[in-house]
Structure 1
Amino acid sequence: MRTSHYLLSTLKETPADAEIVSHQLMLRAGMIRKLASGLYDWMPTGVRVLRKIEKNCS
Structure 2
Amino acid sequence: MKTSQIPFRTLRDSPSEAIISSHQLMMRADLIRKLGNGLYTYMPLGLRAYRKLEKIIKEEIEASGAMEFKPTVIVPGDIW
Tell me the TM-score normalized by structure 2. 0.63
Partner deviation per Cα, 1:5-55 (whole Å, 9 max, x = no partner): 322221111111100111101000100001112111111110000000111
Structure of higher CA gyration radius:
2
- Per the alignment, residue 69 of structure 2 pairs with none
Decide which structure has greater strand share: 1
- Per the alignment, residue 6 of structure 1 pairs with 6
Give the CA RMSD over aligned residues: 1.6
Provide runs of 4+ in structure 1 moved above 6 Å: none
Counting aligned pairs with the same residue, the percent is 47
Distance, in Å, in 2 between the alignment partners of 1:11 and 1:43 is 14
Q: Check if 1:26 corresponds to 2:30.
A: no
Tell me the TM-score normalized by structure 1. 0.84
Count of residue correspondences: 57
1:56–1:35 Cα change, 3 Å: same
